[in-house]
Chain A
Amino acid sequence: MRLFWLEIYKTFSRWRTYIGFGFIALVVILTEVVMKLSAVEIVNRMMRSTEKDFLIFGNVLNGWFVTSFIMNTLHIHIPFLIALVAGDIVSGEATSGTVRFLLIRPPSRVRIIAAKYVTTLFYTTGLVIFLGIVCLLPGLALFGGGDLIMHHYGKFGIVFIPEAEIPVRMLLAFIAAIWSMTAVASIAFLLSTLVENSIGPIVGTMAIVIVFLVIGNFPFDFFGTLKPYLFTTYMVFWQQFLDDPISWQQIATSAAILGVHSFGLFFIAVGAYARKDIKS
């Protein structure tokens, strides 16, 4: 536990750790202010198709919608912010020349690497929770509450979620988002154990995420067959908590696949770190 707190202290003593929080606060608040100022235009664009046939009343552009909108937009950018810290957490010791000092002390390498991994997960969880708080609090204050209108996940149509159900569904969606980001953090963490500089793991993680996302979204049959084997396909499973009915089976499958990725990558990292040569 002391190792964990030590890692937390080290991580949160670096200014790099706060880039992610600062970026999220800036982008989310800026987005919300712009959305507030352009509310009429956004609602008109949102409802352009539906308004041909329906008169629409009520607070469509509410805090819940704004939160899900920002989550949809940022799920590609958050991995980069996670990689900034997770990619540095092990290799940073080599860069700063403290790795030998760290590894000659009594705790085993496995305990050290485990403490670093838990710290990485702590940071990842904190970042996603921070995103949720920054989205929801100003979002609800600026736009108010209301029912949520969502695109029906992966199918045609739209879904209305009554406001009474939204807090629980949002909570589950954020927990799922944390779980998804754990897979990204695990990639950066593994790469961080393999090299001795921080840039490689950060850039490497982003390259993997971007390439997988691009491959997964190419409208060609060949890439379509690869899609089920890409972890990025399952990263958006949080959206299924904002669907009706909630597809628990798909959620369980996605969560299991991402979990296998995360812990598989962690165990590879443990193996690599245990055999790491620190003498040269």
Chain B
Amino acid sequence: MKKILLCLLWVPLVLSPGLLPAQEEGARTLDALQKKYSGLKDYTVDVNVHFDVEGFKAPDMQAKLYCKAPDRMKIESKRIFFLPKEGGTFNPFMFNKEDFEVKLLERLTVEGRNAVKLKLTPKKRKPNAPQDFILTVDTDRNLIREMNASSLDGREVKALIEYGNFSDFDLPTRIELHLDVQFNESRELKDFGQSTQPAKRVTGRVDITYSNYKVNIGLSDQMFKETKSAVSGER
């Protein structure tokens, strides 16, 4: 009996050396990502969004994006501007290892470079926020190449990211988003007198291109105080 118990006690000890490095590798990957961009204080960039989403007829939208580390963002646009929430903007500091349970899913090769696939589960759940992220990270260059975000209500967003080098920082030049989301029409947008349509799954692609980067130009905190989201009402 004692032998069996001893054997059982040994099992986790035998397995853990394999598990722990895997967990640590995930956390190390996130650390390396943040370290790579530690010198990135702020940037501005021109954004063009092209929608190819079912039932969503919109012309290309342009705006100027202002970002400041770690998580401040401002959009300037003369017209109405829609930017996908998940994957629409690049923030290398959003995947802080302290905020997620990190799991290494696999090691792979992406375009001839070493990469890892990580599953990140937020430690604190926020309403409407994804329940987990799956990142494909190029570990040779410390770049997120692909991000999949999925939510409890079945929303799925996949982002494929291409980079260019600007002032010694690898920053996105194009993000290709694949959306599979649930869409409910709001009462206010509907024609009065027509029957309400049920929620519908909407799939499509959004191409976001970034140009004219200006990096570390010393954006002041003041300019981020007036957030310009129409939905927050602070227009």
Contact = CB atoms under 8 A, between A and B. Distances in A.
Nearest to A40: B233
Contact of B81 (A45, A56, A158, A217): A56
B75 interface: yes
B67 to A, nearest CB: 13
A57 interface: yes
Interface string A205-244: 0000000010001010000000000000000100100001
A47 B194 CA distance: 19
Contact of A53 (B79, B86, B186, B192): B86
B184 to A, nearest CB: 4
Nearest to A151: B189
B57 A42 contact: no
Interface string B61-88: 0010000000000010101111111101
Given A72-B192, A219-B195, A56 B230 contact: yes
A48 B80 contact: no
A55 B235 contact: no
B59 A52 contact: no
Contacts of B63: 57
Contacts of B83: 54-55, 57
Interface in A114-150: 146-147, 149-150
Given A43-B230, A151-B191, A57 B77 contact: yes
Given A53-B179, A73-B192, A156-B197, A151 B59 contact: no
A58 B49 CA distance: 15
A250 interface: no
Contacts of A151: 185, 189-191
A146 B82 contact: no
Interface in A28-55: 39-40, 42-55
Contacts of B228: 57-58
Contacts of B190: 151
Contact of A158 (B55, B200, B231): B55
A72 B56 contact: no
Contacts of A49: 183-186
Interface string B89-101: 0000000000000
Contacts of B200: 156
B80 A59 contact: yes
Interface in B218-235: 228-231, 233, 235
A12 interface: no
Contacts of A107: none
Contacts of B84: 53-55
Given A52-B155, A154-B194, A156-B200, A59 B230 contact: yes
Interface string B156-194: 010000000000000000000001010111111111111
A44 B230 CA distance: 8
Contact of B80 (A52, A53, A56, A244): A56
Nearest to A148: B80
Contacts of B233: 39-40, 43-44
Contacts of B81: 56-58
Given A58-B79, A154-B194, A217-B195, A48 B235 contact: no
A39 B155 CA distance: 29
A52 B79 contact: no
Contact of B191 (A39, A47, A50, A236): A236
Given A47-B230, A160-B80, 9 more contacts: A45-B188, A48-B184, A49-B184, A53-B155, A53-B179, A57-B77, A59-B230, A157-B55, A160-B57
Interface of A: 39-40, 42-61, 69, 72-73, 75-76, 146-147, 149-160, 162-163, 213, 217, 219, 236, 239, 244
17 contacts: A43-B235, A44-B233, A46-B186, A47-B230, A52-B128, A52-B155, A53-B84, A53-B86, A55-B82, A57-B228, A58-B80, A59-B80, A151-B190, A156-B183, A157-B54, A157-B57, A217-B195
